[in-house]
């Protein structure tokens, strides 16, 4: 049985009078792929920000590998092994592709020197299929290339948990297939994946487990098949027409 690596307990975050995340409790296990879904404004990105130290919870706590990391800062999260990508991809445009990845290895991955960071960066460019672009400026990459660059930078940080924020947004069908192969390969290396995703076709083919947020609350958790049959999820997010395409609606 897989070991639990991260636990959120009673997690809430308020921004003035707005509750973005409300009393959220869940756990992630080593090496699993978990999809985080829900309507726009459901609190998905806020949750990732809480887990990576961008925001601190108003209440609740986060435990990573048994340690309380609720008050960590982003660089501390990165060095512990909690890495993330961003929905809006913004590499350092004047730096080369190699230099972008080396920056992740040096500052987030705790590499002791620039040559060591460069070596790790080259490994990750090979892994993500970007080696041929190593010496080109990051600004020259296509959107799909920049998405892969985000994955390469994250992997250069030697993550134990990798959080992907809509990594497939804006990609065509062929590019999505390539991204999914890469994500599966990352998971096969033992990295836990939490992916924010709106494309249910991706969720159904990739995720082992799904968390569903609505108004900051966890309204359902289970396998992809269970989720599309869950009445609360259908009403809040999927709609009956879509749900029937993937196995129908039950009265759960």
Q: Where along the chain do its domains lie? A: 1-81+161-252, 91-158
Q: Look at the alpha carbons of 132, 137, 141, 143 in this order and tell me if their dihedral is positive or negative.
A: positive
Q: Half-sphere exposure of residue 242, counting CA atoms within 13 Å on the CB side?
A: 16
Task: Report the pLDDT value the prediction gives residue 248, as an integer from 0 to 100.
Answer: 55
pLDDT bin (cut points 50, 70, 90) of residue 1 is low
Q: Any idea which of 33-37, 102-106, 215-219, 235-239 has the lowest mean pLDDT? A: 235-239
Write out the two tokens for 80. 């512990």
Task: Report the pLDDT value the prediction gives residue 243, as an integer from 0 to 100.
Answer: 59
- For residues 210-239, give the mean pLDDT: 90
- For residues 107-130, give the mean pLDDT: 91
More confident residue, 78 or 242: 78
Q: What is the pLDDT of residues 57-77, one digit of tens each?
A: 999 999 999 999 999 999 999
Task: Report the pLDDT value the prediction gives residue 245, as an integer from 0 to 100.
Answer: 65
User: 151 has which bridge partners?
Assistant: none
- For residues 77-90, give the mean pLDDT: 90
Q: Any idea which of 28-42, 100-114, 202-216 has the lowest mean pLDDT? A: 100-114
Q: Is the pLDDT of residue 125 over 60?
A: yes
Q: What is the pLDDT of residues 168-200, one digit of tens each?
A: 989 999 999 999 999 999 999 999 999 999 888
Q: Is the pLDDT of residue 163 over 50?
A: yes
185, 133 Cβ separation under 8 angstroms: no
131, 125 Cβ separation under 8 angstroms: yes
- For residues 143-155, give the mean pLDDT: 94
Task: Report the pLDDT value the prediction gives residue 215, as an integer from 0 to 100.
Answer: 93
Task: Report the pLDDT value the prediction gives residue 133, as an integer from 0 to 100.
Answer: 97
DSSP 235: I
Backbone torsion region of residue 123, taken as left when φ is above 0, otherwise alpha when ψ lies between -120 and 50, otherwise beta = alpha
Would you call 204 helix, strand, or coil by DSSP?
Answer: helix
CATH of span 1-81+161-252: 3.40.50.300
Percent of the chain with pLDDT over 70: 94
10, 60 Cβ separation under 8 angstroms: yes
Task: Report the pLDDT value the prediction gives residue 252, as an integer from 0 to 100.
Answer: 46
Task: Report the pLDDT value the prediction gives residue 251, as an integer from 0 to 100.
Answer: 46
Task: Report the pLDDT value the prediction gives residue 200, as an integer from 0 to 100.
Answer: 87
Q: Is the pLDDT of residue 249 over 70?
A: no
Q: What is the mean pLDDT of the chain?
A: 91
150, 119 Cβ separation under 8 angstroms: no
């Amino acid at each position: 049985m897989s070991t639990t690596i991260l636990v959120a307990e009673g997690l809430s975050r308020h921004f003035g009078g707005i509750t973005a995340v409300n009393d959220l409790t869940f756990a992630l296990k080593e090496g699993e792929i978990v999809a985080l879904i829900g309507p726009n404004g459901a609190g998905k990105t806020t949750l990732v920000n809480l887990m990576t130290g961008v925001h601190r919870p108003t209440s609740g706590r986060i435990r990573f590998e048994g340690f309380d990391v609720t008050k960590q800062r982003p660089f501390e999260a990165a060095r512990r092994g909690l890495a993330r990508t961003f929905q809006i991809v913004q590499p350092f445009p004047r730096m080369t592709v190699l230099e972008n990845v080396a920056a992740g290895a040096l500052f987030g991955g705790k590499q002791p020197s620039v040559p060591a960071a460069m070596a790790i960066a080259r490994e990750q460019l090979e892994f993500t299929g970007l080696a041929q672009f190593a010496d080109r400026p990051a600004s020259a990459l296509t959107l799909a290339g920049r998405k892969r660059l985000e994955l390469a930078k994250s992997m250069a940080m030697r993550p134990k948990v990798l959080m992907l924020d809509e990594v497939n947004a804006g990609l065509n069908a062929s590019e999505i297939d390539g991204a999914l192969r890469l994500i599966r390969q990352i998971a096969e290396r033992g990295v836990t994946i939490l992916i924010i995703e709106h494309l249910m076709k991706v969720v159904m083919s990739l995720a082992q487990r799904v968390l569903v947020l609505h108004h900051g609350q966890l309204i359902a958790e289970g396998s992809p098949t269970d989720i599309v049959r869950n009445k609360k999820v259908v009403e809040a997010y999927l709609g009956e027409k879509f749900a029937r395409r993937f196995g129908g609606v039950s009265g759960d």
